[in-house]
Structure 1
Amino acid sequence: MSTGLVSAGATFLLPGGRTRSDSLSGRPRLCTGTDLTGARAAVIGMWNEANPDAKVELDEVPGGSRAERDSMVERIKNGAVDIVNLDIVDVREFAKEGYIKEISLPTRTYFPAVERAHRVAAGSGRYWAVPFNSDVGMLFSRVTTGLDTRQPLLPQVIRRDTRGVARFVGQLLPDTENDTEPFVVNVLEHALSVDPGILDRDGRVAEDLVRWQDALSPLRTAIQHNDVVRARNEEETRDLFEAGLTHMRNWPARYRGLRSQVALLPLPSGILGGQSLALVANAANVDASLRFIEFATSAAAQRVAAAHGLAPALTHVYDDPSLLQAMPYLEAVKSALEQAIPRPTHRHYRDFAAAVRRHVLPFLGQPNGRLTSAFTDEIKSTLDPGTR
């Protein structure tokens, strides 16, 4: 299916239709993390075919979200890159630190949460980074009997089934620093399922300790009673789910790799994810880089990315009949993105995430674990509006 959709989209992606473009020169250098879907390679391949004198040179760095961020900073400082493919949580930091510069684009219609996370100013058409794909946390369910989709789903699945067997797996047992982000996303989604105000739609975090204790109490109880299975990351979660569990929390891109059909259900407050292309402030190949970013984030390119399993950020791409016929689950992804909650859009977000792991992990996993005022005090200092 993806092969057919990519072939169909190629005509619209190539500048001038099927003809090559000789108007650009220079080789944009793109630093990005690993992409297991093949979407990025497909889009870059189309660009390079159409622009033989401005081919994108790919610098792929492995290691997970934090390692990718650190590698990008190093390459920017060394003048070795023109474009970076940022995790959405790093856009604010890179902008504030002067690593990237704003981009102006023709009017585009993004999901509200996506728009707010990337824009320089409301309604300006100016962005610090441009979404290559979006993402949102969702519930994968092999068995939906007994689930009330009108109510928050996570509290319903973190209980054992009628046989007394754990049935849910999520990214709740970080092992390395690169497992921090999956853990934080899961913690926020579980907290939001109990208290929707713990993180608002502008990414502001509640600072009341009792609210946090109450919001995480059902998850703590489930972990203490071994009612859930805890995985380190998205890959391990998928493997455990495939081994026989009935529910997991994961990103939509994991759907295509599953060996059996499952339901993909929107969380009322799934955490917003995604990767976005940004122009490096000291880029050597500015014109070609800007043209590639506009090309790679267009509606046609997002259709190609969707064909490989990624979630588009532009709303109208979800109305494409060919995509919906091949991937009807995109309707659920669209619904989830319409309700998605962004993580704090703050230059010190990574410090906030580290604080969540440092304080919340022992609270959830240790019998005598406590969530104290040190946690909320650290949230206040880390997410200080004065350093936003």
Structure 2
Amino acid sequence: MRRFIPIALTMILLSACSAADAQPTDRFGGSGPFTLVIGRDTTAYLQPLLDRWNQAHPEERATLLELPEAADEQRAQMVANLQAKSDRYDVLGLDVVWTAEFADAGWILPLERGTFPLGRFLPPVVDTAVYRGKLWAVPYTSNAGLLYYRKDLLAKHKFSPPKTWKELREQARALHAKHRIGGYAGQFLAYEGLTVNFTEAVQSAGGQILSPDGTKVTMDVAKATSGLNFLVNGFREGWIPVESLTYKEEESRLAFQEGRLAFARNWPHAYGPATASSVADRFAVTRLPGPNGPGTGALGGYNLAVSAFSKRQKSAVEFIRYFTSLENQRRVLTEGSFPPVWAELYDDPELIRRFPYLPVLKQSILSARPRPASANYEQVSLVIASAVSNALTPPFEEAGDDVVASMKSQLDEIIRGR
């Protein structure tokens, strides 16, 4: 059956996409069919959003090109395309940590701030799209890590949701022993997800890895070692299952929603599928714990950028304005379970009734820190993931402070360009 969009809605879409015609978009050339390239859509919500655009813009149809789920693999394919100066990709869905690299390489175009309602977005999210004072992309989804937990098991043992590492350790150990399930897991495969998990542990301990501008290694060995040892001890003591060394986002999501974990660190997109799983109505979320209270997450999400080699740049900019509009942001949440970037959606009573985690998520995003805006971020991430993976793998022969000291030395070489 063919799907038709109501005339009134068509007019709304057309109006929304032309409301800022006075903004300076003339410097972008080329209109026509274009391609949106982004990571794999695991919740099947993207194509309906593109269908709405396509029905209102038959001469500027958007085609969805999905890349692999893992951020590392997405980046590799995008970089290969952009280094070849191919015009196959038009709108790029970039992990927030790629802004500096892609801008520095000349692969994406700077955008006019006034074209987009950035003042209504969550401030930390906008920062991820800015590099050296220029806007290089538009925030599309945000992200901050959350702690998923089995509220039924906590209630049974009269536990309160853990706020500290000590509480998480004690509860995870107890539930692991009494219910024969994994105590806690995150994303511990040696890829970008492990870098994020380690970064969150370091930040929660009061440290950082690089300076905010990415030009200097500022890692405090003691604080970084504290964060690393929290994870290492979990594996050594058995309340973090060894199989989680193979977990990316999807593997950890499935382990939790299939009832194989008491606690799991994951992004908000895992919430929707869990409500239709074997743990539905038996789980909840809270902020990530830290040494002495709630921890500090790593800011994630996707930004939309225009390829410098696109021949349809004007259509790409118009599409980004449409795709980041308030109504589409609502759909990003309601249909995709991804955190929107518009601040007002987190305070919407109707949405909070449907997504009770929104207040917690808003706090998590506002307290999260962006990963360093480094043009060498990929190398930085590879060094961190490799070092941390070795530390987490039995037989745990190298001391945590030695691992951190060696990691710091390697990072210093990368940043200094040696």
Whole-Å Cα distance in 1 between the matches of residues 159 and 239 of structure 2? Answer: 17
Equivalent positions of 1:32-51 (< 5 A) are: 32-51=38-57
Instruction: Find out whether 1:282 has 2:309 as its counterpart.
Output: yes
Of the three residues 322, 328, 331, the one matched with 1:304 is 331
Distance 2:12 2:357 in 1: 24
Please report how far the alpha carbon of residue 73 of structure 1 lies from its aligned counterpart in structure 2 after TM superposition. Answer: 2.0
For 1:163 and 1:80, how far apart are their aligned partners in 2? 50
Offset at 1:299?
A: 1.7
TM-superposed CA distance for 1:169, in Å, is 1.8
Partner residue in 1 for 2:251? 236
For residues 230-379 of structure 1, the aligned pairs below 5 Å read 230=244, 231-241=246-256, 242-258=258-274, 259=277, 260-261=280-281, 262-267=283-288, 268-308=295-335, 309-365=337-393, 366-370=395-399, 371-372=402-403, 373-379=405-411
Q: In structure 1, what is the Cα distance between the partners aligned to 2:140 and 2:320?
A: 9
User: What per-residue deviation string (whole Å, max 9, x for no partner) do you get for residues 46-78 of structure 1?
Assistant: 111110111112222225211111211222322
**More helix per residue: 1 or 2?**
2
Q: Which amino acid in structure 2 is aligned with residue 271 of structure 1?
A: A
Which residue of structure 2 aligns with residue 224 of structure 1?
Answer: 236
Residue 196 of structure 1 pairs with residue 206 of structure 2: yes
2:169 corresponds to 1:142: no
- More off after superposition, 263-272 vs 208-217: 208-217
What is the SS of the residue equivalent to 1:352?
Answer: helix
Contact residue 116 and residue 202 of structure 1 kept, 8 A: no
Q: Where in structure 1 are there 5+ consecutive unaligned residues?
A: 1-5
- SS of corresponding position for 1:351: helix
Q: Is the 8 A contact 2:47 2:64 kept in 1?
A: no
Describe the SS at the equivalent of 2:94: strand
Correspondence 1:160-179 to 2 at 5 A: 160-161=173-174, 164=177, 166-172=182-188, 174=189
Judged with a 3 Å threshold, the aligned counterparts in structure 2 of structure 1 residues 163 and 265 are, in CA distance, closer, same or farther, namely closer
How far off is 1:203 after superposition? 7.1
CA gap of 1:121–1:11, structure 2 versus 1, over 3 A, is: farther
User: Partners of 2:9 and 2:297 in 1: how far apart?
Assistant: 32
1:35 aligned counterpart, secondary structure? coil
Separation in 1, partners of 2:31, 2:176:
65
Offset of residue 86 of structure 1 = 0.9
Cα distance change on mapping 1:66 and 1:314 into 2, 3 Å: same
Structure 1 residue matching 2:305: 3-state secondary structure? strand
Q: Which residue of 1 aligns with 2:292?
A: none
Contact 2:211 2:372 in 1 (8 A): no
Question: 1:364 & 1:343 partners in 2: Cα distance?
Answer: 22
Q: What is the identity, as a one-letter code, of the residue corresponding to 2:218?
A: A
Q: Is residue 144 of structure 2 the alignment partner of residue 129 of structure 1?
A: no
- Measure, in 2, the Cα distance between the counterparts of 1:118 and 1:315: 16
Tell me, in whole angstroms, the C-alpha distance in 1 between the residues paired with 2:69 and 2:285.
28
Residues 255 and 29 of structure 1, relative CA distance in 2, 3 Å threshold = same
| Aligned residue number for residue 78 of structure 2 | 72
CA contact (8 A) 1:13 1:301 kept: no
**Does the alignment pair 1:382 with 2:394?**
no
Please report how far the alpha carbon of residue 157 of structure 1 lies from its aligned counterpart in structure 2 after TM superposition: 2.0
Report deviation, 1:237.
0.9
Deviation digits for residues 231-273 of structure 1 (CA, Å, limit 9, x no counterpart): 4211111222223322100010011101113211122311111
* % identical aligned pairs: 26
1:182 partnered with 2:193 = yes
Tell me which amino acid in the other structure corresponds to 1:196: G
Q: Do the aligned partners of 1:132 and 1:297 also contact (CA within 8 Å) in 2?
A: yes
How far is 1:33 from its partner?
1.6
Distance verdict in 2 for CA 1:376–1:17, change over 3 Å:
closer
The Cα of 1:321 is off from its aligned counterpart by 3.4
Query: Are the equivalent residues in 2 in contact too, given 1:201–1:341 (CA < 8 A)?
Result: no
Q: 1:4-19 residue pairs with structure 2 within 5 A?
A: 14-16=13-15
Map Cα deviations across residues 9-43 of structure 1 (whole Å, 9 max, x no partner). 96796123799xxxx95112222221112332222
Residue 121 of structure 1, CA deviation: 5.4
Aligned equivalent of 1:3: none
Separation in structure 1 between the aligned mates of residue 76 and residue 383 of structure 2, nearest angstrom: 19
Q: What is the distance in 2 between the residues matched to 1:50 and 1:282?
A: 25
Task: Identify the range of structure 1 (374-383 vs 303-312) with the bigger mean alpha-carbon deviation.
Answer: 374-383
> SS at 1:81's partner residue?
coil
